[in-house]
Each structure stands twice: as C-alpha cells, then as structure tokens.
Chains A and B, each alone.
Chain A
Amino acid sequence: MLKQRETAGAREDSAETRELTYAQAIREALQLAMNRDERVFMLGEDIGVYGGAFGVSDGLIDQFGAERIRDTPISEAAIAGAAIGSAMTGMRPIAEIQFMDFITLSMEQLVLQGAKIRFMFGGKATVPLVLRTPAGSGTGAAAQHSESLEAWFVHVPGLKVVMPSTPYDAKGLLLAAIEDDNPVIFVEHKLLYRTKGHVPEGYYTVPLSQSDIKREGTDLSVIATSIMVPRAIEAAEILAKKGIELEVVDPRTLKPYDATIATQSVRKTGKALVVHEAPKTGGFGAEVVAELVAGDAFDYLDAPVRRLAGLDVPIPYNRELERAAVPQVEDIVREARALVEGVY
C-alpha cells in the first residue's frame, strides 16, 4: 500500500544555499514531495515528455514515470475533479492547470466540490490537493492567457491561496501546501519562472499564512504580491538613492491572510501602498487595505492608504498597451514617492 516514508514531517535543514530559478525551485519541491510520499502524484496537460508549458516538470516523467506524472487530455473540469476525487480517497494530487485563465473551466469542481467537501461532510473527509497554475501578463499572449484570478479564490471559503514571489518561497511554500490537508491554489507567475535566488538543498517548508518582509525600510510600507514584489524592491532601490526607504511586505499566502506583519510594518512607517497585478476593482488589495484601516494600523496612519493595481481592462496584445495595463517599476516609484512626499 501507499505509505508515507520515514522522512515525512522531518525538517532536513541544510546550511548550504545555491542559486536556483523559481521554476527549478518548484521542480525540486515536486521531486522531494514525490520521493518522500508515494501518494503524491501530478496530473495536467503536457506535463510529461513536454515538461509542462513552462518547463516546470521537465524530466520528472523520466524520474517518476507516466503513472505519477500523468498527462491528461485537454479537460480542465476533469483534471480538477480527478484531483479532488483522488484527494478525498487517499491520494495527494498536484494538479497543473496550464494557464490560470483555464481554471475558469475547473471552477465548479474547485469551488462547489473541493472547497466545500470537508465542511459540508462534517469533517469526515478532507481534500489534500494542490493546484498549481501560472498567472500573469507580460508575455504578449493577450487577454485569454494573462489572467490574475487569485481574488476569486480568496473569496471562496475552503480554498487556500498561495502566491510566491521568490524561488526560496516557491519551494518552501509548495512543500507546505503539499503537506496541508486542504485544497491549496498555488499561483505561480510566468515572468518569475526564470528569476534566480538562493534556495537551500533538501526539505524545508515555509509556513502558510505568514507574510514576509522582503526589504526593510522606514518611510513607506509597500505590500505587494507575486511579480510586484521584485518590482517593488527595484522601485525601493531607485528611491533609496533619493533618500526614501521603502519597506516591502510580501503576504505570500493570500488566504488565510494574516495581516500581522503588514500591520506592524505600517505602525512603523505610518504609510502604506498596496500593489498587485490583478485589476484593482475587487482585487486582493482591497482586503489588505481593509485589514489595515479596520485594524491596529489605523491610529498610526499618516496618509491615506493607496492601491496601485492593474487597470480594469482585459490584457491587450500590443506591447505598450500590455505594459500600461499593469503596474511597472516606474509606476511604483511614482506612487510611492507621492505618498511619502504627501502630494497625492
């Protein structure tokens, strides 16, 4: 029978760190998880010999075979359903939806089945599922291949939502998501796949629901998700030369979202700018702002809390329009500066 190996639950810390890309870090997490737990398997479109649309699962089929790296027909509802059904009955599936846009075809199974089962059945069943999917614009693939739909899932009780911004977090959060007994929507960013960062060897987890300070600063807290984290850091480097110090906070897990770190940061800086790629209206940023102004940060605010987000527009194909549709480094610099200098 399929059993967890002895290493399960153990944390094999390694002092050694290497540079890996975000995609490699994810692949390493997948390898580690599949090596230590036979119940873990992957299913999705073109994840086998093709190696996944973005090469994330490259080579895994050679290592784990076609049973565990399971190519499916183009059937997103069935992918989600097969993952949920198998998760309810003893397996620990990792489903891949090739582009986040196509998760729209999986919605019923995810939202009405997977998210509800544990609660609705009185806790008699769990759904230990991870659904990985690449989101975001910047590839010239236009309106149906550029969506950032994380806020939809944040709004559904019963789904966890994770959005790593660095290779280190990607690996540790993915391993934590796989360990978790509940469905996790794991949102990767296409433009981050090739970014590099330090990633320790061996097994480690980054706890879900824990924000991280990616850069310390004193003048303004920038709370940013996914690709906007490196953009905010770049903006911070530019502003540092002008004597403005941004603190960059990365929520990492959007649901359940713990506002403690953002709140502490804003209590220190007195100002907050929330940045994400998804359209502003109804976006996750609204939740971040609400947690700040309705909570313990309110009394410490010296300025209005601002949001910088994608325009409420489908992502255009034309390169310049595409850039203009979502926040760029220069936009963060401009908005941050305006907030710090009080000209808004």
Chain B
Amino acid sequence: METKLKESGLDSATLLEALRKMHLIRLFEEKAESLYALGKIHGTMHLSIGQEASAVGSCLALQPDDYILSTHRGHGHCIGKGAEPKLMMAEFFGKEVGYCRGRGGSMHIADVAGGNLGANGIVAGGIPLSTGVGLSIQMQQQDKVCLTFFGDGAANEGAFHESLNLAAIWDLPVVYICENNQYGMSMSVERACAVQRIAQRAAAYDIPGMTVDGNDLFAVYGAVKAAVDRARTGDGPMLIESVTYRWRGHSKSDRQRYRSRDEVKEWMEKDPIARLEKALLSAEIVSEADLEQVANAARKTIEDSVAFAEAAADPDPASILEGVYA
C-alpha cells in the first residue's frame, strides 16, 4: 500500500481527513445501531461498516460541487461527500433540523446543497437519475461530474443496463461505482450474476470497466480519480467495481443464514481503516498518537451529534402537508 500511497499524490492533511471520515462513518453507524437497540430510533437501517474505504476513496476524487447519488447503504457516501454528522443524526431521529426535516430517515438522507442527491430506498433507483444529472451537466456545459454508487445487486436491474447504454451513447460525465460487497441481501454475486466480474458488463456498452480492491483507499481513489478526470474532459462514462464486504447483516432483521461466520471473520481482517492506519504509520506520515487523536476527535463529533439530535425539535404535525402540491 505504501507505494500506492506515494503514487496517490495525496498530502498528509488530506489523508488524515480521509481517515477521520472513515472513522466518522464507522462510529456513526455503530452509534445508530446501539440507538436502535435502545429504541431511540426506529425504522430500518443498512450499515456500511467495512466498506468505508470505498465511499471515502471515491469521494476523495471529487470537487466540492460535483454530484453524487447514493443508495440505501448510504451513510458512508454522505459523510464522504462532506455532510455534517449532526444533521444526519438529526434525520435519523426524525427531527425537523435533519437533512430531510425528519421526512426521509436513514434511507433517504440527501444533502442537496453539498452535492449529495440522496440515498435511495429503491435498488438501482439512483442510477438512471445520475444519467440525467450527467446530461444536465453536459447540456449546461458545467465543469462537473456525477458519481453514482450502487450495489452488486443493483447491477441486475434493467435500470442499470438502460442507463449505462444511454450514458455511453451520449458520452455523459458519469462515473458508475458498483460497490460489490458480495451479496444483495441474501443473494450472492455468484448466484445472481452470469459474469464473474461486474466490471465486465462495461464491455456491453463499450465503455471502460475496472475492478479494484474496495478496501484499499488508494486503489479506490486512483481508479475513481482517473475515471472522474476522464469524464470531466468529455470522454464519457466509466464503470468501476469496488470489491468490498459488509460486516453487518443486510438490515436489522437479517439472520445471515446465507454466509458463514468464518467468511465474515476473514473479511474483517481486511479492515479498511486498519489498513489505512498501517499505511500512514509505515510511511511515517503519522504517529500512533496522531492516530489516536483522529479517532478520538471523530468519536467526540459523533457523541456531539447525538446530543444535538436528541435535543432538537420534532416536526410540527400540522406541517405534514407541506411540500405536497398534488
């Protein structure tokens, strides 16, 4: 990883910020999980613990005014793009100050001002939208790109195929990032996909496709940066398959009968946070003490976000029809 670190050209401040965001994601989700267990938040949630490098490495390749579209497993993408954890937490609590005024919850967090056009409750729901965002960027001749995240399972929806073809024939500035975490709910990629690598599907649309180690921040960053640069100069879309693993169950109700404990354990040894920390240490960019400080600061941010969210006001029930125009 060390050579990739050097090749990345990322300075130490940027790397520490990336590490901080990866901690934020994990801590945010661990907190959400325990708040759910305590009955303080309700509904459903999909945790991306174990996939932090994929989200942060991808967003690292973006400019602040670039767009992302995200998925039901979207907390990481949201934090990666620069959202404020306290406003995300407030949304989780269903509070008025939350990103969606308490109307959306975990599965619909959007930070429109920050360029995050939303998590999505519908598998592959964001993929066609991102194609439209790319079209809009192209028609307005903006210097932006749109990066869209989706899972391995989403690649089996018709929407994926229709969208990639459209983006390809119109050379749209969209980067399609398939986060292959091995399963769509209980369905393994091997059972669900005829191809061995989802990136192979790029060939059907005559666009470049690439598979990267999604638990290696530098590998993800390198691939996405190249795709983003390419899209920004008008060379069209690209499909990147980021291979990773979700440590937790699909959602709160998953008994995980479709995979073994050993498999999970094996992947936990490829912890993207630990890998980044190790790379930073061995490149002598940080000391152990620095690492501790980053983790502690992230922990405090999450604690503060819970306090903020708990103290915040619920939406006024009388406002329920606001935003309904038809």
A interface vs B, CB < 8 Å?
A: 45-46, 48-51, 53, 71-78, 101-102, 105, 139-145, 311-314, 316-321, 324-325
Whole-angstrom distance between the Cβ of A51 and the nearest chain B Cβ: 8
Q: Top 8 closest A-B pairs, CB basis?
A: A140-B43, A144-B121, A317-B105, A318-B94, A50-B186, A73-B156, A318-B102, A140-B42
Cross-chain contact B108 with A74 (CB below 8 angstroms):
no
Residue B191 at the chain A interface, CB threshold 8 Å:
yes
Residue B44 at the chain A interface, CB threshold 8 Å:
yes
For the complex with contacts A53-B253, A74-B156, A77-B158, 16 further pairs of A-B residues with Cβ separation under 8 Å are A46-B185, A48-B186, A50-B255, A53-B185, A74-B123, A74-B153, A75-B157, A78-B158, A144-B122, A145-B44, A311-B320, A311-B324, A318-B95, A318-B314, A321-B94, A321-B320
Whole-angstrom distance between the Cβ of A235 and the nearest chain B Cβ: 21
Bin chain B's interface residue count: 35 or more
**Distance A321 CA – B315 CA, assembled complex (angstroms):** 8
| CB < 8 Å neighbour of A316 from B42, B102, B154, B191 | B102
**Distance A77 CA – B158 CA, assembled complex (angstroms):** 8
Residue B187 at the chain A interface, CB threshold 8 Å:
yes
Cross-chain contact A75 with B158 (CB below 8 angstroms):
yes
6 contacts between A and B (CB under 8 A): A53-B185, A73-B193, A78-B158, A142-B105, A144-B108, A311-B320
Cross-chain contact B42 with A45 (CB below 8 angstroms):
no
Residue B9 at the chain A interface, CB threshold 8 Å:
no
Interface centre among B103, B159, B324, by most A CB within 10 Å?
Answer: B103
Whole-angstrom distance between the Cβ of A95 and the nearest chain B Cβ: 16
Contacts of B104 in A (CB 8 A): 142-143, 317
Contacts of B122 in A (CB 8 A): 101-102, 144
Whole-angstrom distance between the Cβ of B323 and the nearest chain A Cβ: 8
Contacts of A73 in B (CB 8 A): 153, 156, 184, 187, 192-193
| A74 and B157 in contact, given A140-B43, A142-B107, A318-B94 (Cβ under 8 angstroms) | yes
Closest to A108 in B: B158
Residue B204 at the chain A interface, CB threshold 8 Å:
no
Contacts of B44 in A (CB 8 A): 139-141, 145
Q: Which of B174-206 contact A (CB under 8 A)?
A: 184-187, 191-193
Cross-chain contact A71 with B186 (CB below 8 angstroms):
yes
Whole-angstrom distance between the Cβ of B39 and the nearest chain A Cβ: 11
Which DSSP category, helix, strand, loop or mixed, fits chain A's interface? loop
Cross-chain contact B186 with A49 (CB below 8 angstroms):
yes
Cross-chain contact A321 with B103 (CB below 8 angstroms):
yes
Cross-chain contact B121 with A142 (CB below 8 angstroms):
yes
Cross-chain contact B320 with A324 (CB below 8 angstroms):
yes
Cross-chain contact A319 with B187 (CB below 8 angstroms):
no
**Distance A144 CA – B119 CA, assembled complex (angstroms):** 11
| A321 and B317 in contact, given A46-B187, A74-B156, A140-B105 (Cβ under 8 angstroms) | yes
Contacts of A325 in B (CB 8 A): 320
**Distance A145 CA – B156 CA, assembled complex (angstroms):** 20
**Distance A75 CA – B153 CA, assembled complex (angstroms):** 9
**Distance A313 CA – B318 CA, assembled complex (angstroms):** 13
Cross-chain contact B153 with A318 (CB below 8 angstroms):
no
Closest to A52 in B: B186
| CB < 8 Å neighbour of A318 from B103, B121, B258 | B103
Cross-chain contact B105 with A50 (CB below 8 angstroms):
no
Cross-chain contact A319 with B158 (CB below 8 angstroms):
no
**Distance A101 CA – B185 CA, assembled complex (angstroms):** 17
Interface centre among A73, A78, A311, A314, by most B CB within 10 Å?
Answer: A73
Closest to A98 in B: B185
Cross-chain contact A313 with B108 (CB below 8 angstroms):
no
**Distance A140 CA – B106 CA, assembled complex (angstroms):** 10
Contacts of B38 in A (CB 8 A): none
**Distance A312 CA – B320 CA, assembled complex (angstroms):** 10
Residue B100 at the chain A interface, CB threshold 8 Å:
yes
Contacts of B317 in A (CB 8 A): 320-321, 324
Whole-angstrom distance between the Cβ of A41 and the nearest chain B Cβ: 17
| A141 and B187 in contact, given A74-B124, A318-B314, A320-B317 (Cβ under 8 angstroms) | no
| A139 and B43 in contact, given A73-B187, A316-B103 (Cβ under 8 angstroms) | yes
Contacts of A145 in B (CB 8 A): 44, 107, 121
Interface centre among B107, B108, B314, by most A CB within 10 Å?
Answer: B107
Contacts of A77 in B (CB 8 A): 158
